[in-house]
Structure 1
Amino acid sequence: MTNNVGTTDRTLRLIAGVILLAVTWIAPIAVFHGTAAVAIATIVGLILVGTALFRFCPLYRLLGKNTCAVK
């Protein structure tokens, strides 16, 4: 598993994922309408945080995209 998520991309994913998870835990009913929306937002937040932590995005691999700096 080679890294394909660069530093800027990683930072943005981590920030967006943490914000999404925080909103689903703090005020899920006020922001999202329905249980399905809360579940989807939680899953997307976890995926964003996970791809940021592991520096690997399976979708990027399928699309042939790489945001890492050339070494």
Structure 2
Amino acid sequence: MSVNVGGLDRILRIIVGIVLIALVFVGPQTPWGWIGIVPLATGLFKFCPFYPLLGLNTCPISKE
């Protein structure tokens, strides 16, 4: 797994993930909030499995 999620993308994924998971405990309290694990994990691991399929890379580090 190579890094393919950049700075702003990573921060937004982590925030969205935490907010969605928080909705499980406060707010509508539906199990759909657990979907927040996906953006949280991709933000923490700096890797999105769909980016290579789409040919995207938001990480500014050049490949060598």
Task: Give the TM-score normalised by the residue count of structure 2.
Answer: 0.85
**Higher CA-based Rg:** 1
- 1:18 equivalent to 2:18? Answer yes
Aligned to 1:59: 50
Q: Work out which structure has the larger RCO, using CA pairs closer than 8 Å and 6 or more positions apart in sequence.
A: 1
RMSD between aligned residues: 1.3
| Cα distance between partner residues in 2 of 1:2 and 1:54 | 10
Secondary structure in structure 2 of the residue aligned to 1:41: helix
Instruction: Verify: 1:49 aligned to 2:61, yes or no.
Output: no
TM-score normalised by the chain length of structure 1: 0.77
Report the count of equivalent residues: 62
Consecutive unaligned residues of structure 2, counting only runs of 5 or more, are none
Deviates more, 1:18-27 or 1:58-67: 18-27
Unaligned ranges ≥5, structure 1: 30-37
4+ residue segments displaced more than 3 Å: none
Q: Which has the higher helix share?
A: 1
Q: Percent identity?
A: 45
Secondary structure at 2:61 match in 1: coil
